[in-house]
């Protein structure tokens, strides 16, 4: 099994004719993802790679192809409208890769998708991959392997590092999810942890957090109160100075709650194994499964 995406995922790509959209669409298709449509206003009637029909609107694409998921590769100023359009068309899963989406835009987007029961992943995220089955976004398919370890992270590149370590050690993954590092995102740690807990084929979870906000503390409490499966966690940014944003828009310490020390303490108190460095995930997970 898996979470979020599987063999039934029928994907449409918003921004399929752009530089990033076209490059990553080819990557997703080569991995085996069922890309059924693309959307670029004004280019309806054309095809991508001679086989994927392009439509002017998401509504047209969904109606004609039965697409149930969308991935967004459009500039930041258009990202909110792209999400609105996909949600309004009834797309069940929307993955927004775009970074730099204004926080003000997200304050309008989040209630809109929630009212429609739509799952939004991102923005500013690498997407998700179910190894050997389906890839939506930019996670590299060559470093993953099918297995039973769930992976969820705020950091894309940190995800790659940990997944590579797991794969080298023979610890394949059920699904790897990058939730994004912005202050306002559609899917958080708890959403993914809840899904992994319900997934019969996931036996343990690797969780990568970072400084800023309190999402990791909330996730730790969820693990303590609701999860039966072991979770191992890591916090990036332990040497970051207070008050300075580090990489992600959400990675900024304000007061004490956003520090790496507070998050690691919460992990320990709630029964989450704490990795001192990404390479430690292998041993800590092997001890718990």
Residues identified as active-site: 248
- For residue 157, give the 3-state DSSP assignment: helix
**Torsion 20-26-27-32 (CA) sign:** positive
**Torsion 205-280-264-157 (CA) sign:** negative
Q: At a CB cut-off of 8 Å and minimum separation 6, what does 34 contact? A: 7, 9, 10, 11, 134
- Please give the structure tokens belonging to residue 141: 């398919």
Q: At a CB cut-off of 8 Å and minimum separation 6, what does 104 contact? A: none
- For residue 93, give the 3-state DSSP assignment: strand
- Please give the structure tokens belonging to residue 252: 């900024």
């Amino acid at each position: 099994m898996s979470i979020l995406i599987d063999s039934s995922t029928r994907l449409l790509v918003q921004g399929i004719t752009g530089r990033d959209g076209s490059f990553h669409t080819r990557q997703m298709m080569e991995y085996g993802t069922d890309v059924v449509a693309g959307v670029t206003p004004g280019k309806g009637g054309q095809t991508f790679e001679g086989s994927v029909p392009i439509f002017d609107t998401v509504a047209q694409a969904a109606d004609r192809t039965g697409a149930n998921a969308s991935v967004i590769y459009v500039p930041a100023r258009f990202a909110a409208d792209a999400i609105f359009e996909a949600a309004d068309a009834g797309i069940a899963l929307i993955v927004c890769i775009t970074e730099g989406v204004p926080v003000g835009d997200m304050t309008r987007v989040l209630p809109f998708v929630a009212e429609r029961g739509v799952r939004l992943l991102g923005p500013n995220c690498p997407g998700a991959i179910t190894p050997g089955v389906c890839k939506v976004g930019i996670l590299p398919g060559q470093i993953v392997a099918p297995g039973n370890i769930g992976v969820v992270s705020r950091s894309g590149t940190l995800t790659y590092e940990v997944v590579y370590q797991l794969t080298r050690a023979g610890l394949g993954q059920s699904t790897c999810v990058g939730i994004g590092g912005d202050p306002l995102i559609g899917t958080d740690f708890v959403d993914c942890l809840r899904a992994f807990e319900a997934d019969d084929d996931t036996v343990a979870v690797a969780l990568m957090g970072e400084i800023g906000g309190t999402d990791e503390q909330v996730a730790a409490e969820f693990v303590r109160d609701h999860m039966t499966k072991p979770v191992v966690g890591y916090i990036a940014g332990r040497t970051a100075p207070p008050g300075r944003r580090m990489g992600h828009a959400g990675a900024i310490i304000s007061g004490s709650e956003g520090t790496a020390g507070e998050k690691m303490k919460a992990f320990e108190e709630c029964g989450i194994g704490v990795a001192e460095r990404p390479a430690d995930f292998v041993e800590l997970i092997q001890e718990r499964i």
